Structure 1
Amino acid sequence: IGGGGSALRVCAEHRGGINWLSLSPDGQRLLTGSEDGTARLWSTADGQFCALLRGHESYVTFCQLENEAAFTCSADRTIRKWDVLTGQCLQVFRGHTSIVNRILVTNDQLFSSSYDRTARAWSVDKGQVSREFRGHRNCVLTLAYSAPWDLPGAPFEEEAVAGGLLVTGSTDGTAKVWQVASGCCHQTLRGHTGAVLCLVLDTPSHTAFTGSTDTTIRAWDILSGEQLRVFREHQGSVICLELANQHVYSGSADRTVKCWLADTGECVRTFPAHRHSVSALKYHAGTLFTGSGDARARAFDAESGALQRVFRGHAFIINCIQVHGQVLYTASHDGALRLWDVRGLPRAPPPRPAAPQRSLSRLFSNKVGCAAAPLQPA
């Protein structure tokens, strides 16, 4: 079932595992962040190496690529901004006192989460902290941001959401919603009985979806703090989430991916073909791409759940997936970036309203506990 895929190109210049992969908004470049303490820029046109970003004093945990600048964060407790043309470091953001797990750049703000139990907002231009978000009792793993124009609310809420809302997930078992303008905690989302490993935000409905080591996904209204529904069919930690077309896709340590109706929590599909924890998800043009601790990536028809293709060649866990045009990019803890031809996969059907379909059934990084034992290539 599902024909095999051959790599178009293997980029093995990193000397350590790749923890994250980011695609620029214009689709022209890729950025990889590695255990070797460097980040590298690549061209999507031909897969050629463009620039080496060197300066961090420990491994790079996460990265984000914009059209004009690249951003990386590291276990050295700093965040760096880089020129994408020259590879020169333009700014160092200092202030966190432990590993920086995630960053999120939006407009002129940069948000970060850390093992030091805080999240922070920074001025991109000045490189200085503008807000500290303190209240979590353990490390902050993941975050998402909703801009003020995405938050229509009652008049009494206008001041509270004037600067937008930041949502953070922590190993303390809670997610928190913060008022960016004031730095105050707007809501604490309590209900999980394990660490919150991942979250996605549906801004039109101001709903956050959180995945946890307690095996559940939970939906929350970020304005009121109300728990809306609980998704309960996984048998292992929920490691990654993807939101597309009013469906939530979840990857789990139970080796499955599940598809849920976002507005009801009904599980409508299970993708069971993996041999290890599911570590990465990416929905693109009607296809769900998945990466796993079994060192393989897979392509599934998102509508039917049918396995379309298996991509073999990596030797360790696949940490991140991106798709651009007809090329799939996979980044692995084996230190390689691989490019795969995905031509021939079905195109997306016209969008239609979500409805029950009875016939269809990192942020959690390796450093947190999702590392896989070395595997032999299949």
Structure 2
Amino acid sequence: MGSNSSTLATTNSLIKICRDHKGGINWMSLSPDGCHLLTASEDCTARLWRTTENQCCRVLQGHSSYITFCHLENEVAFTCSADNTARKWEVATGQCLTVYTGHTSIVNRILVSRNLLFSGSYDRTARLWDVDSGRSLQEFQGHRNCVLALAHFSSSDILESSDMDMKEFLVTGSTDCTVKIWEAFSACCFQTLRGHVGAILCIVLDVPNKELFSGSTDYTIRRWNMVTGDQLKVFRDHQGSVICLEMVGQHLYSGSVDRTAKCWLPDTAECVRTYKSGWKGIGL
């Protein structure tokens, strides 16, 4: 899960330690302006910290079970929890503004994009919510196991024609070993990407190239065409589950429970650098 303290550090020197949580930290999110850090904990609270201090300035209380994930914007924050709900909070006061109820099991991911709120759950569904009212607008049904990864894009991101109505799309990754692409407002699934033989833990989009990458417990990363659904490449150098992915410029970065991070050339699936940890922590 996480440690019971969150640390802001430079390359070589510890500059601040934020303590107060009574349980492990499952996720952290930095505000776009860099002024606040939000931490989500096993102790059922989220805590807001000013990045210039080591004192907690807000405690977000209301969830009845551990918080799995959080997302921080400059004025509002979002959390989701094993209590089957997500919540929206006011940063200035710590007040809960909206509770999103409808899922029937743990909500493990939320995604906020262009005033849309998506959530993924162990109940095998994802949902689209009205951010302000908390009303569920769509339920995405089709996965045969829990939804662990979310991504979002718009038709304007991948289509050159400006004559078409803009549509919003949700990408979901599941422990049923598939990735699905949905039209957000109709909840229609138009692509199911099959090839992994393990749970999908992470997804990253390369929108300019109309591609996505998925990381899995099968130790691989796979590259897909978002429009056709074709599998383009398989990245096979990790020796453990791939738990995070990031696109930076012309390179793909991955992190794994094999205690390495890797840098890849996306077009060829060539690993050009491996970052190894000397830490001998618990085996995963």
- TM above 0.5: yes
Whether the 8 Å CA contact 1:256–1:274 is kept in 2: the answer is no
Q: 1:57 aligns with which of 53, 64, 72?
A: 64
Percent identity at matched positions? 61
Matches within 5 A, 1:164-175: 164-175=168-179
Whether the 8 Å CA contact 1:108–1:125 is kept in 2: the answer is no
SS at match of 2:52: coil
Structure-1 separation of matches of 2:63 and 2:205: 30
1:266 correspondence with 2:270: yes
Structure-2 separation of matches of 1:120 and 1:4: 39
In the TM superposition, residue 35 of structure 1 has moved relative to its aligned partner by 0.2
Equivalent residue number for residue 88 of structure 1: 95
In the TM superposition, residue 132 of structure 1 has moved relative to its aligned partner by 0.9
Relative to structure 1, the CA distance from residue 224 to residue 241 in structure 2 (aligned partners, 3 Å threshold; closer, same or farther) is: same
In the TM superposition, residue 234 of structure 1 has moved relative to its aligned partner by 1.3
SS at match of 1:63: strand
Query: How many pairs were matched up?
Result: 274
Structure-2 separation of matches of 1:4 and 1:203: 31
Equivalent residue number for residue 75 of structure 2: 68
Letter in 1 for 2:124: R
Q: 1:243 aligns with which of 230, 247, 259?
A: 247
Q: 2:222 aligns with which of 218, 233, 238?
A: 218
In the TM superposition, residue 33 of structure 1 has moved relative to its aligned partner by 0.5
SS at match of 1:224: coil
SS at match of 2:37: strand
Relative to structure 1, the CA distance from residue 61 to residue 24 in structure 2 (aligned partners, 3 Å threshold; closer, same or farther) is: same
In the TM superposition, residue 4 of structure 1 has moved relative to its aligned partner by 8.4
Whether the 8 Å CA contact 1:151–1:164 is kept in 2: the answer is no
Relative to structure 1, the CA distance from residue 154 to residue 134 in structure 2 (aligned partners, 3 Å threshold; closer, same or farther) is: farther
Relative to structure 1, the CA distance from residue 4 to residue 22 in structure 2 (aligned partners, 3 Å threshold; closer, same or farther) is: closer
1:148 correspondence with 2:155: yes
Matches within 5 A, 1:1-378: 5-152=12-159, 158=164, 162-275=166-279, 294=281, 372=282
Letter in 2 for 1:221: N
SS at match of 1:97: coil
In the TM superposition, residue 181 of structure 1 has moved relative to its aligned partner by 2.4
In the TM superposition, residue 131 of structure 1 has moved relative to its aligned partner by 1.1
Whether the 8 Å CA contact 2:156–2:162 is kept in 1: the answer is no
Map Cα deviations across residues 90-124 of structure 1 (whole Å, 9 max, x no partner).
Answer: 11000000000100111221000000000111110
Give the RMSD, CA atoms, in angstroms.
1.9
Structure-1 separation of matches of 2:268 and 2:55: 45
SS at match of 1:201: strand
Structure with greater strand percent:
2
SS at match of 1:16: coil
Map Cα deviations across residues 280-334 of structure 1 (whole Å, 9 max, x no partner).
Answer: xxxxxxxxxxxxxx3xxxxxxxxxxxxxxxxxxxxxxxxxxxxxxxxxxxxxxxx
Whether the 8 Å CA contact 1:33–1:39 is kept in 2: the answer is yes
In the TM superposition, residue 154 of structure 1 has moved relative to its aligned partner by 6.9
Structure 1 unmatched ranges of 5 or more: 277-293, 295-371, 374-378
Whose RCO is larger (CA < 8 A, sep 6+)? 1
Whether the 8 Å CA contact 2:150–2:171 is kept in 1: the answer is yes
Structure-2 separation of matches of 1:155 and 1:66: 30
In the TM superposition, residue 143 of structure 1 has moved relative to its aligned partner by 0.5
Letter in 2 for 1:200: V
In the TM superposition, residue 274 of structure 1 has moved relative to its aligned partner by 3.7
